[in-house]
A and B are shown apart, each in its own frame.
Chain A
Amino acid sequence: MKVSKGEIFERVFINEPVNLCIDQEADSQVKIHVINASFAITVNQLGEGCKTEIYALENLHGSDSVTAETHVTHAVGGGTSNQLIKFVLDDNSRGRFIGDLKIAPDAQQAEAHQTNRNLLLSDTAEMRTQPQLEIYADDVKATHGASTGQLDESALFYMQQRGIDKQKARQLLVNAFMKEVLNTISDETLREQLIHSLDSLDSY
């Protein structure tokens, strides 16, 4: 599909697999959220001054298996892209992130950020992450980071020392981790609704 010059394309996909290939014309904006579904999203910034945002939250349980795939290309300069992909993996779930980020030789002054953070809640869950950056221009700002870890034991103990049940303390930390993605949703009603459904798990 094509997002025309100056247009804005914004979508939130919940529980539905996503397969998108988007060409962006100059000064267009793309903002996509995917929640709890596999996806493959390709975005090509073909015009100057484009803005691309991809956010994903994958909260996996049981034998869930999810693959998140992004291919973002800055073909011309002056555009920005931001990706935040988060996985929470419990039980025997499997997660995979493949993230290609390409900045072409002509894409001077592009700004691109890719972040993948994963939280493992069980010893049998598994996460594979394959970020790949190809940067051919020299005057760009690009960052990427990928990390997979467990809940912060010192934070858990701190909460237990205040009388909070360990299970509830875990839930509070996991929710905080997930909210970072939900907080980026523009639609206030939907954002509040999704955050509220998390909070109802952990408060009185």
Chain B
Amino acid sequence: MNKLLEIKDLHASIGGKEILKGVNLVINEGEVHAIMGPNGAGKSTLSAVLTGNPAYEVTSGEVYLKGQNLLAMPPEVRARAGVFLSFQYPVEIPGVSMTNFMRTAINEKRAYEGKEPLSAKEFLSLMREKKKLLELPDKLNNRSVNEGFSGGEKKKNEIFQMAMLEPCLAILDETDSGLDIDALRIVAEGVNRLKTPQNASIVITHYQRLLDYIIPDFVHVLADGKIVKTGDKSLALELEEKGYEGL
């Protein structure tokens, strides 16, 4: 199995306050890793740091994506190299249409890979194909990015973008929050269908519920900035029953 992501003794802070206090994690191609933990443990900080959010400062440690120094890359290069974040709170961008946004993103990635940009026709047929996966309406194309979308539509739209960009590492940050059971099923099925032997996912969640649909190979418990326990999917059930204090 090929190593996809390697995190070594990662420390990070925001506003001078240390949140990650030495995270170690190896993710191989084809694996699904769930990260669970109480509020404030650093789950969202980890996703922010891996994607290069400028609000956070990495104080020490190393991260490699397919052997490349991830922390040295600006956020857009990390994205083009295949790191995708499904945001916990997707951002509304008034005045920028989904079509224009997505076409720019796809063609930036293709340029990075040394490929020709997609023609308008190729692009639109790709949009149509991927939207079916998430049961998203056609009218979405002309709407501004996430503007006026319901909570469920925003999360589906994240997974739709993931389907368009085909990342090698997808980080799903609390993708289940705010979803009713039908939306949750659609989102989870979308994620499952995008799974290949070459890519991997990190699923960040509070609740075991999502893991009934997206079955993890590993479950990690993040508490006070460190991974304190690792197990298989039964660990999630155990946490649901006993809570984090029961560890």
Contact = CB atoms under 8 A, between A and B. Distances in A.
A and B assemble together = yes
A165 B90 CA distance: 19
Q: Sort A-B residue pairs by CB-CB distance and give the 6 closest, nearest first.
A: A176-B95, A163-B79, A162-B105, A160-B75, A158-B91, A160-B76
Size category of the B interface is: 20 to 34
Contacts of A177: 95
- What size tier do the contact residues of chain A reach? 20 to 34
A113 interface: no
Question: Which of A157, A163, A203 has the most chain B CB atoms inside 10 A of its CB?
Answer: A163
A15 interface: no
Contacts of B51: 161
Interface stretch (A41-49, A62-70, A166-174): A166-174
B68 interface: no
B107 interface: yes
B76 A164 contact: yes
B93 A157 contact: no
Contacts of B7: none
A155 B75 contact: no
A189 interface: no
Interface of A: 152-155, 157-166, 168, 172-173, 175-177, 179-180, 199, 202-204
B40 interface: no
A175 B107 CA distance: 19
B109 interface: yes
B117 interface: yes
A166 B78 CA distance: 13
B96 A161 contact: no
A155 B104 contact: no
B105 A172 contact: no
B108 interface: yes
A180 B95 contact: yes
A172 B101 contact: yes
B100 interface: yes
Contacts of B165: 162-163
Contacts of A199: 100
A108 B100 CA distance: 45
Contacts of A154: 91
Given A159-B93, A175-B95, A199-B100, 17 more contacts: A157-B91, A158-B87, A158-B145, A159-B105, A160-B52, A160-B75, A161-B84, A163-B109, A164-B76, A164-B105, A166-B76, A172-B93, A173-B93, A176-B95, A176-B144, A179-B95, A204-B104
Given A162-B105, A164-B105, A155 B95 contact: no
Contact of A172 (B80, B100, B109): B100
B93 A203 contact: no
Contacts of B102: 162
B161 interface: yes
A161 B79 contact: yes
A202 B53 CA distance: 23
Contact of A166 (B53, B74, B90): B74
Nearest to B53: A157
Interface string B92-115: 111110001111110111001000
